[in-house]
Amino acid sequence: MKRTTPLRAAIAALLLTVGLGAAAANAAPPPEPAPKASASAGLLDAMRQDLGLTAAQAEERLRTEKTAAEVEKAAERSAGAAYGGSWFDPAAGRLVVAVTDRAEEAEVRALGADTRLVRHSAAALDRAKARLDGLRAPEGVAGWHVDPKSNSVVVDVVRAQRQTPAVRAFVDRARAGGPVTVAETAEAPRTYAAGTVGGDPYYTGNVRCSIGFSVHGGFVTAGHCGGAGAAVRGWDGSAMGTFQGSSFPGDDYAYVSIHSGWWTVPVVLGWGTVPDQLVRGSAEAPVGASICRSGSTTRWHCGTVLAKNQTVNYSQGAVHQMTKTSVCAEGGDSGGSFLSGDQAQGVTSGGWGNCSSGGETWFQPVNEILARYGLRLHTA
Protein backbone atom coordinates (compact mmCIF):
# COMPACT_ATOMS: atom_id res chain seq x y z
CA MET A 1 0.00 0.00 0.00
CA LYS A 2 1.03 3.66 -0.20
CA ARG A 3 2.70 5.10 2.83
CA THR A 4 0.46 5.66 5.81
CA THR A 5 1.56 6.55 9.30
CA PRO A 6 0.14 3.38 10.93
CA LEU A 7 1.90 1.12 8.42
CA ARG A 8 5.22 2.94 8.79
CA ALA A 9 4.90 2.62 12.55
CA ALA A 10 4.23 -1.12 12.28
CA ILE A 11 7.22 -1.67 10.00
CA ALA A 12 9.42 0.54 12.17
CA ALA A 13 8.44 -1.52 15.19
CA LEU A 14 9.60 -4.66 13.37
CA LEU A 15 12.95 -3.10 12.48
CA LEU A 16 13.39 -1.75 15.99
CA THR A 17 12.89 -5.20 17.46
CA VAL A 18 15.62 -6.60 15.21
CA GLY A 19 18.01 -3.75 16.11
CA LEU A 20 17.52 -4.19 19.82
CA GLY A 21 18.12 -7.93 19.47
CA ALA A 22 21.44 -7.30 17.72
CA ALA A 23 22.55 -4.81 20.38
CA ALA A 24 21.63 -7.22 23.15
CA ALA A 25 24.06 -9.76 21.75
CA ASN A 26 26.98 -7.54 22.84
CA ALA A 27 25.56 -6.58 26.21
CA ALA A 28 25.39 -8.31 29.58
CA PRO A 29 22.77 -11.08 29.84
CA PRO A 30 19.39 -9.39 30.47
CA PRO A 31 17.13 -10.36 33.34
CA GLU A 32 14.56 -13.10 32.69
CA PRO A 33 11.97 -11.50 30.35
CA ALA A 34 8.28 -11.39 31.16
CA PRO A 35 6.09 -13.85 29.22
CA LYS A 36 5.51 -12.55 25.71
CA ALA A 37 1.95 -11.44 25.00
CA SER A 38 0.22 -13.57 22.39
CA ALA A 39 -1.46 -10.55 20.81
CA SER A 40 -1.44 -6.76 20.90
CA ALA A 41 -3.24 -4.86 23.63
CA GLY A 42 -5.67 -3.55 21.02
CA LEU A 43 -6.63 -7.01 19.82
CA LEU A 44 -7.09 -8.19 23.40
CA ASP A 45 -9.28 -5.16 24.05
CA ALA A 46 -11.42 -5.98 21.01
CA MET A 47 -11.86 -9.53 22.31
CA ARG A 48 -12.81 -8.14 25.71
CA GLN A 49 -15.45 -5.92 24.15
CA ASP A 50 -17.00 -8.46 21.77
CA LEU A 51 -16.44 -11.73 23.65
CA GLY A 52 -16.79 -10.46 27.23
CA LEU A 53 -13.28 -11.61 28.24
CA THR A 54 -10.72 -10.04 30.50
CA ALA A 55 -7.26 -9.43 29.03
CA ALA A 56 -5.93 -12.47 30.91
CA GLN A 57 -8.81 -14.64 29.66
CA ALA A 58 -8.24 -13.47 26.08
CA GLU A 59 -4.51 -14.30 26.34
CA GLU A 60 -5.31 -17.75 27.69
CA ARG A 61 -7.91 -18.38 25.00
CA LEU A 62 -5.53 -17.48 22.20
CA ARG A 63 -2.92 -19.80 23.70
CA THR A 64 -5.29 -22.76 24.01
CA GLU A 65 -6.77 -22.13 20.55
CA LYS A 66 -3.30 -22.25 19.01
CA THR A 67 -2.70 -25.59 20.71
CA ALA A 68 -6.10 -26.87 19.52
CA ALA A 69 -5.30 -25.94 15.92
CA GLU A 70 -2.10 -28.00 16.12
CA VAL A 71 -3.85 -30.95 17.78
CA GLU A 72 -6.67 -30.90 15.19
CA LYS A 73 -4.40 -31.90 12.32
CA ALA A 74 -2.76 -34.68 14.28
CA ALA A 75 -6.12 -35.99 15.54
CA GLU A 76 -7.55 -36.18 12.04
CA ARG A 77 -4.55 -38.21 10.88
CA SER A 78 -4.72 -40.45 13.94
CA ALA A 79 -8.47 -41.20 13.68
CA GLY A 80 -8.32 -41.86 9.95
CA ALA A 81 -11.64 -43.09 8.53
CA ALA A 82 -13.20 -42.86 12.00
CA TYR A 83 -12.70 -39.08 12.16
CA GLY A 84 -16.04 -37.32 12.65
CA GLY A 85 -14.91 -33.68 12.79
CA SER A 86 -13.76 -31.49 15.68
CA TRP A 87 -14.40 -28.22 17.50
CA PHE A 88 -12.85 -26.06 20.21
CA ASP A 89 -14.56 -26.02 23.61
CA PRO A 90 -13.91 -22.57 25.18
CA ALA A 91 -15.08 -23.67 28.63
CA ALA A 92 -12.59 -26.56 28.79
CA GLY A 93 -9.93 -24.84 26.68
CA ARG A 94 -9.51 -28.02 24.64
CA LEU A 95 -10.28 -29.50 21.25
CA VAL A 96 -13.12 -32.03 21.07
CA VAL A 97 -12.74 -34.72 18.40
CA ALA A 98 -15.68 -36.82 17.20
CA VAL A 99 -14.89 -40.45 16.29
CA THR A 100 -17.05 -43.26 14.97
CA ASP A 101 -14.92 -46.06 16.46
CA ARG A 102 -14.37 -46.34 20.22
CA ALA A 103 -11.04 -48.05 19.53
CA GLU A 104 -9.64 -44.71 18.27
CA GLU A 105 -10.52 -42.71 21.38
CA ALA A 106 -7.45 -43.51 23.49
CA GLU A 107 -4.98 -42.54 20.76
CA VAL A 108 -6.78 -39.26 20.05
CA ARG A 109 -6.93 -38.40 23.76
CA ALA A 110 -3.21 -39.04 24.03
CA LEU A 111 -2.73 -36.13 21.62
CA GLY A 112 -4.38 -33.76 24.11
CA ALA A 113 -7.98 -33.72 22.85
CA ASP A 114 -11.30 -34.80 24.34
CA THR A 115 -13.42 -37.24 22.32
CA ARG A 116 -17.06 -37.85 21.52
CA LEU A 117 -18.42 -41.06 19.98
CA VAL A 118 -20.69 -40.37 16.98
CA ARG A 119 -22.50 -42.31 14.27
CA HIS A 120 -21.39 -40.55 11.08
CA SER A 121 -17.82 -39.90 9.92
CA ALA A 122 -16.72 -36.53 8.59
CA ALA A 123 -16.36 -38.10 5.14
CA ALA A 124 -19.98 -39.32 5.25
CA LEU A 125 -21.21 -35.89 6.30
CA ASP A 126 -19.19 -34.25 3.53
CA ARG A 127 -20.83 -36.58 1.01
CA ALA A 128 -24.28 -35.69 2.34
CA LYS A 129 -23.46 -31.98 2.02
CA ALA A 130 -22.15 -32.48 -1.50
CA ARG A 131 -25.53 -33.96 -2.47
CA LEU A 132 -27.21 -30.79 -1.17
CA ASP A 133 -24.76 -28.67 -3.17
CA GLY A 134 -26.24 -30.25 -6.28
CA LEU A 135 -29.73 -28.96 -5.44
CA ARG A 136 -31.13 -25.56 -6.35
CA ALA A 137 -32.15 -23.84 -3.13
CA PRO A 138 -35.14 -21.48 -2.83
CA GLU A 139 -34.82 -17.94 -1.46
CA GLY A 140 -35.87 -18.96 2.06
CA VAL A 141 -32.91 -21.34 2.49
CA ALA A 142 -29.93 -19.35 3.80
CA GLY A 143 -27.36 -22.13 3.44
CA TRP A 144 -26.10 -25.43 4.83
CA HIS A 145 -22.98 -26.81 6.47
CA VAL A 146 -21.50 -29.85 8.18
CA ASP A 147 -21.81 -29.52 11.97
CA PRO A 148 -19.54 -31.89 13.89
CA LYS A 149 -21.28 -31.16 17.21
CA SER A 150 -24.68 -32.43 16.01
CA ASN A 151 -23.01 -34.96 13.69
CA SER A 152 -25.27 -33.82 10.86
CA VAL A 153 -25.65 -31.41 7.96
CA VAL A 154 -27.44 -28.31 9.26
CA VAL A 155 -29.77 -26.53 6.85
CA ASP A 156 -30.36 -22.89 7.83
CA VAL A 157 -33.75 -21.50 6.81
CA VAL A 158 -35.10 -17.97 7.18
CA ARG A 159 -37.55 -18.06 10.09
CA ALA A 160 -40.33 -16.17 8.30
CA GLN A 161 -40.18 -18.53 5.31
CA ARG A 162 -39.71 -21.88 7.02
CA GLN A 163 -43.23 -23.11 6.26
CA THR A 164 -43.36 -22.04 2.62
CA PRO A 165 -43.87 -24.92 0.17
CA ALA A 166 -40.53 -24.33 -1.57
CA VAL A 167 -38.52 -24.41 1.67
CA ARG A 168 -40.37 -27.44 3.01
CA ALA A 169 -39.79 -29.30 -0.27
CA PHE A 170 -36.06 -28.49 -0.17
CA VAL A 171 -35.76 -29.70 3.43
CA ASP A 172 -37.56 -32.94 2.56
CA ARG A 173 -35.16 -33.58 -0.34
CA ALA A 174 -32.20 -32.74 1.89
CA ARG A 175 -33.29 -35.20 4.59
CA ALA A 176 -33.67 -37.93 2.01
CA GLY A 177 -29.98 -37.59 1.18
CA GLY A 178 -28.48 -38.09 4.64
CA PRO A 179 -28.39 -36.92 8.28
CA VAL A 180 -29.89 -33.42 8.21
CA THR A 181 -31.12 -31.07 10.94
CA VAL A 182 -32.85 -27.73 10.39
CA ALA A 183 -31.97 -24.45 12.12
CA GLU A 184 -33.56 -21.03 11.81
CA THR A 185 -31.87 -17.72 11.01
CA ALA A 186 -33.37 -14.26 11.32
CA GLU A 187 -32.48 -13.04 7.83
CA ALA A 188 -31.09 -14.20 4.51
CA PRO A 189 -27.37 -13.54 3.93
CA ARG A 190 -26.24 -10.74 1.62
CA THR A 191 -22.86 -9.56 0.36
CA TYR A 192 -21.21 -6.55 1.98
CA ALA A 193 -20.22 -4.36 -0.93
CA ALA A 194 -21.30 -0.72 -0.76
CA GLY A 195 -21.62 2.42 -2.86
CA THR A 196 -18.73 4.89 -2.95
CA VAL A 197 -18.26 6.73 0.35
CA GLY A 198 -15.30 8.27 2.14
CA GLY A 199 -12.80 6.29 4.23
CA ASP A 200 -9.73 4.22 3.55
CA PRO A 201 -11.03 1.51 1.18
CA TYR A 202 -10.47 0.50 -2.39
CA TYR A 203 -12.93 1.10 -5.21
CA THR A 204 -14.06 -0.62 -8.39
CA GLY A 205 -16.51 1.48 -10.37
CA ASN A 206 -19.03 2.75 -7.82
CA VAL A 207 -18.41 -0.14 -5.41
CA ARG A 208 -16.38 0.14 -2.21
CA CYS A 209 -14.80 -2.91 -0.61
CA SER A 210 -11.98 -3.71 1.81
CA ILE A 211 -8.54 -5.22 1.29
CA GLY A 212 -8.14 -8.70 2.69
CA PHE A 213 -4.48 -9.72 2.99
CA SER A 214 -1.29 -8.70 1.24
CA VAL A 215 0.28 -11.33 -0.99
CA HIS A 216 3.51 -10.92 -2.89
CA GLY A 217 2.44 -8.81 -5.87
CA GLY A 218 -0.93 -7.59 -4.62
CA PHE A 219 -3.76 -8.55 -2.29
CA VAL A 220 -6.70 -10.93 -1.97
CA THR A 221 -10.28 -9.86 -1.45
CA ALA A 222 -13.88 -10.86 -2.22
CA GLY A 223 -14.84 -11.92 -5.74
CA HIS A 224 -18.17 -10.07 -5.75
CA CYS A 225 -16.26 -6.78 -5.46
CA GLY A 226 -15.06 -6.91 -9.08
CA GLY A 227 -14.54 -9.12 -12.11
CA ALA A 228 -11.26 -10.10 -13.77
CA GLY A 229 -9.79 -7.12 -15.62
CA ALA A 230 -11.58 -4.50 -13.51
CA ALA A 231 -9.47 -1.49 -12.51
CA VAL A 232 -8.99 -0.73 -8.82
CA ARG A 233 -8.57 2.71 -7.22
CA GLY A 234 -6.98 3.19 -3.83
CA TRP A 235 -8.24 5.11 -0.81
CA ASP A 236 -6.97 8.36 -2.37
CA GLY A 237 -8.67 7.75 -5.73
CA SER A 238 -5.43 7.02 -7.58
CA ALA A 239 -4.90 3.98 -9.82
CA MET A 240 -3.98 1.06 -7.57
CA GLY A 241 -4.21 -2.20 -9.50
CA THR A 242 -6.23 -4.67 -11.53
CA PHE A 243 -8.33 -7.74 -10.74
CA GLN A 244 -6.26 -10.60 -12.17
CA GLY A 245 -8.71 -13.28 -11.13
CA SER A 246 -12.18 -13.31 -9.61
CA SER A 247 -14.83 -15.92 -8.86
CA PHE A 248 -18.43 -15.28 -7.73
CA PRO A 249 -20.82 -17.00 -7.17
CA GLY A 250 -19.65 -20.56 -6.59
CA ASP A 251 -16.68 -19.02 -4.78
CA ASP A 252 -16.21 -15.51 -3.41
CA TYR A 253 -12.56 -14.63 -3.83
CA ALA A 254 -10.32 -12.51 -6.03
CA TYR A 255 -6.70 -11.53 -6.57
CA VAL A 256 -5.71 -7.93 -7.31
CA SER A 257 -2.23 -7.10 -8.61
CA ILE A 258 -0.92 -3.67 -7.65
CA HIS A 259 0.81 -0.94 -9.69
CA SER A 260 4.07 0.85 -8.95
CA GLY A 261 3.72 3.37 -6.14
CA TRP A 262 1.93 0.80 -4.01
CA TRP A 263 3.50 -2.06 -2.11
CA THR A 264 2.46 -4.88 0.18
CA VAL A 265 3.10 -5.29 3.90
CA PRO A 266 2.19 -8.10 6.35
CA VAL A 267 -0.22 -5.85 8.21
CA VAL A 268 -3.97 -5.65 8.79
CA LEU A 269 -5.20 -2.14 9.60
CA GLY A 270 -6.69 -1.39 12.99
CA TRP A 271 -8.36 1.80 11.72
CA GLY A 272 -7.45 3.57 14.95
CA THR A 273 -9.66 1.21 16.96
CA VAL A 274 -6.77 -1.21 17.68
CA PRO A 275 -3.10 -1.04 16.65
CA ASP A 276 -2.29 -2.43 13.22
CA GLN A 277 -1.92 -6.22 13.38
CA LEU A 278 1.01 -8.19 11.99
CA VAL A 279 0.22 -11.32 9.94
CA ARG A 280 2.55 -14.23 10.65
CA GLY A 281 0.86 -17.13 8.85
CA SER A 282 -2.43 -18.74 7.85
CA ALA A 283 -2.91 -21.70 10.21
CA GLU A 284 -6.62 -22.50 10.20
CA ALA A 285 -8.47 -22.02 13.50
CA PRO A 286 -10.95 -24.72 14.60
CA VAL A 287 -14.69 -24.33 15.04
CA GLY A 288 -15.29 -22.60 18.38
CA ALA A 289 -12.13 -20.49 18.23
CA SER A 290 -12.18 -16.73 18.65
CA ILE A 291 -11.79 -14.63 15.53
CA CYS A 292 -11.64 -10.92 14.68
CA ARG A 293 -12.43 -8.96 11.53
CA SER A 294 -11.17 -5.69 10.05
CA GLY A 295 -13.18 -3.75 7.48
CA SER A 296 -13.29 -0.21 6.15
CA THR A 297 -16.84 0.43 7.44
CA THR A 298 -17.08 -1.09 10.90
CA ARG A 299 -13.37 -1.46 11.72
CA TRP A 300 -12.60 -4.13 14.35
CA HIS A 301 -15.06 -6.64 15.72
CA CYS A 302 -14.59 -10.10 17.22
CA GLY A 303 -16.61 -13.28 17.69
CA THR A 304 -16.22 -17.02 17.26
CA VAL A 305 -16.02 -19.54 14.41
CA LEU A 306 -19.46 -21.20 14.20
CA ALA A 307 -19.10 -23.59 11.24
CA LYS A 308 -16.89 -24.53 8.31
CA ASN A 309 -17.49 -25.73 4.76
CA GLN A 310 -20.88 -24.00 4.61
CA THR A 311 -22.78 -23.37 1.41
CA VAL A 312 -24.29 -19.87 1.54
CA ASN A 313 -27.30 -19.17 -0.67
CA TYR A 314 -27.02 -15.52 -1.78
CA SER A 315 -29.55 -13.98 -4.13
CA GLN A 316 -26.81 -14.01 -6.82
CA GLY A 317 -26.22 -17.75 -6.35
CA ALA A 318 -24.72 -20.26 -3.92
CA VAL A 319 -21.14 -19.94 -2.64
CA HIS A 320 -19.39 -23.05 -1.29
CA GLN A 321 -16.75 -23.85 1.36
CA MET A 322 -17.44 -20.77 3.47
CA THR A 323 -16.73 -20.32 7.19
CA LYS A 324 -19.52 -18.96 9.40
CA THR A 325 -18.79 -16.61 12.32
CA SER A 326 -20.66 -14.66 14.98
CA VAL A 327 -18.84 -11.46 13.97
CA CYS A 328 -20.94 -8.55 12.69
CA ALA A 329 -20.24 -6.60 9.48
CA GLU A 330 -21.84 -3.99 7.24
CA GLY A 331 -21.75 -2.68 3.67
CA GLY A 332 -18.22 -1.87 2.51
CA ASP A 333 -16.60 -4.51 4.76
CA SER A 334 -16.59 -7.05 1.91
CA GLY A 335 -13.17 -8.47 1.18
CA GLY A 336 -11.79 -7.44 4.57
CA SER A 337 -9.56 -9.50 6.83
CA PHE A 338 -10.48 -12.24 9.28
CA LEU A 339 -7.72 -13.04 11.80
CA SER A 340 -7.32 -15.51 14.64
CA GLY A 341 -4.45 -14.16 16.73
CA ASP A 342 -1.77 -13.37 14.15
CA GLN A 343 -2.97 -16.00 11.66
CA ALA A 344 -4.85 -15.00 8.49
CA GLN A 345 -8.15 -16.88 8.18
CA GLY A 346 -10.10 -15.46 5.24
CA VAL A 347 -11.77 -12.56 3.44
CA THR A 348 -15.20 -11.20 4.35
CA SER A 349 -17.97 -12.31 1.98
CA GLY A 350 -21.40 -11.49 3.44
CA GLY A 351 -23.88 -12.13 6.18
CA TRP A 352 -26.94 -10.70 7.87
CA GLY A 353 -27.53 -8.08 10.56
CA ASN A 354 -25.27 -5.17 11.47
CA CYS A 355 -22.87 -4.02 14.18
CA SER A 356 -25.59 -2.22 16.15
CA SER A 357 -28.01 -5.10 16.64
CA GLY A 358 -25.63 -8.00 15.87
CA GLY A 359 -25.60 -10.64 13.17
CA GLU A 360 -23.49 -13.33 11.50
CA THR A 361 -20.83 -13.11 8.79
CA TRP A 362 -19.17 -15.61 6.44
CA PHE A 363 -15.67 -15.57 5.03
CA GLN A 364 -13.89 -17.39 2.22
CA PRO A 365 -10.86 -19.21 3.69
CA VAL A 366 -7.62 -17.56 2.65
CA ASN A 367 -5.66 -20.78 2.05
CA GLU A 368 -8.11 -21.75 -0.68
CA ILE A 369 -7.53 -18.40 -2.40
CA LEU A 370 -3.75 -18.72 -2.17
CA ALA A 371 -3.88 -22.21 -3.67
CA ARG A 372 -6.29 -21.20 -6.45
CA TYR A 373 -4.07 -18.40 -7.78
CA GLY A 374 -0.66 -19.75 -6.72
CA LEU A 375 -0.08 -16.83 -4.35
CA ARG A 376 2.24 -16.43 -1.38
CA LEU A 377 0.94 -14.65 1.71
CA HIS A 378 3.09 -11.72 2.82
CA THR A 379 4.00 -12.53 6.44
CA ALA A 380 6.06 -10.87 9.15
Q: What is the C-alpha to C-alpha distance for residues 253 and 72, in angstroms, rounded to an integer?
A: 26
E strand residue ranges, 15-151? 83-89, 94-99, 114-117, 141-147
pLDDT in tens, the chain (380 residues): 554 434 333 323 332 223 323 333 344 455 455 455 557 777 888 888 899 999 899 999 999 999 999 999 999 999 999 999 999 999 999 999 999 999 999 999 999 999 999 999 999 999 999 999 999 999 999 999 999 999 999 999 999 999 999 999 999 999 998 999 999 999 999 988 664 434 468 999 989 999 999 999 999 999 999 999 999 999 888 899 999 999 999 999 999 999 888 888 899 987 776 778 889 999 999 999 999 999 999 999 999 999 999 999 999 999 999 999 999 999 999 999 999 999 999 999 999 999 999 999 999 999 999 999 999 999 99
What is the pTM (predicted TM-score) of this model?
0.81
Asked if residue 249 has a cis previous peptide bond (ω within 30° of 0), the answer is yes
**What is the per-residue burial (b if ≥16 Cβ within 10 Å, else e) of 228-257?**
eebebbbbeeeebbbbebbbbbebbbbbbb
Identify whether 50 is a catalytic site residue: no
**Catalytic residue from among 120, 224, 301, 320:** 224
Beta strand segments in 104-170, E: 114-117, 141-147, 152-158
Nearest to 307 by CA among 134, 104, 142: 142
Distances in Å between the Cα of 183 and the Cα atoms of 126, 179, 189, 375 are 18, 14, 14, 37
Q: How far is CA 189 from CA 31, 138, 260, in A?
A: 53, 13, 37
Q: Which of 50, 156, 252, 333 is catalytic?
A: 252
Residue in 152, 296, 334, 337 annotated catalytic: 334
Q: Is 276 annotated in the active site?
A: no
* 252 tagged catalytic: yes
How many alpha carbons lie under 13 Å from residue 274 in its C-beta half-sphere?
27
